[in-house]
Amino acid sequence: FWMVSINFLDNYVMVLMVVLTPLFTLFSRILLWYVGFLLNWVIMVLLNKTNNAFLFL
């Protein structure tokens, strides 16, 4: 009985890893893109601080 449950748990963990890995990579990519986008926007705002009209474009 214990062997079967341990085997089942092992398979469950393996399936979970296989399912979570693509999701995690996708999430990290989105997060990286978002952080990069925010940094780019902040730099743009700092560079164009005098030009207020540019911010509303």
Provide mean pLDDT across the span 25-30.
92
Would you state the pLDDT for residue 53? 53
pLDDT single digits (tens) 28-42: 999 999 999 999 888
CA 19 → CA 15, 16, 22, 26, 29, distances in Å?
6, 5, 7, 12, 16
Statement: the pTM of the whole predicted model exceeds 0.85: no
pLDDT single digits (tens) 3-20: 667 777 788 888 998 999
Domain assignments of the chain as residue spans, ordered by start: 2-56
